[in-house]
Amino acid sequence: MSPKISPKDPIFNRIAVLRTEHGLSRAQLAKEVEVNPQTIGALERGDHYPSLDLAFRICAVFDLPVEAVFSRTEFTPMSSALYRKES
């Protein structure tokens, strides 16, 4: 597992949302990417960075590019994009 995230350089991710959309448990995703379920939990909570290899393996499961799953800036909730209030 990679080092703990320093507060100045967080990596945000959509792993939990994508897991839910695909009907995968942490254990199932962990098996797919060959890590233990605790690693998936730590990534989802933002406790650890993924290695580049692990990030690619996670993205392959969801068939998405890295920037759709991981970001240096916080992802906005889908609801804010879908249900914007018109002024």
Boundaries of every domain in the chain = 12-75
Q: Compute the distance between CA of residue 23 and CA of residue 12 in angstroms, rounded to an integer.
A: 21
Q: What is the CATH number of domain 12-75?
A: 1.10.260.40
Supply the pLDDT for residue 81.
66
Tokens at residue 81, please? 């994009």
pTM of the complete model beyond 0.85: no
**12: β partners:** 71
Confidence label for 3 from pLDDT (cuts 50, 70 and 90): low
Q: Compute the distance between CA of residue 64 and CA of residue 62 in angstroms, rounded to an integer.
A: 5
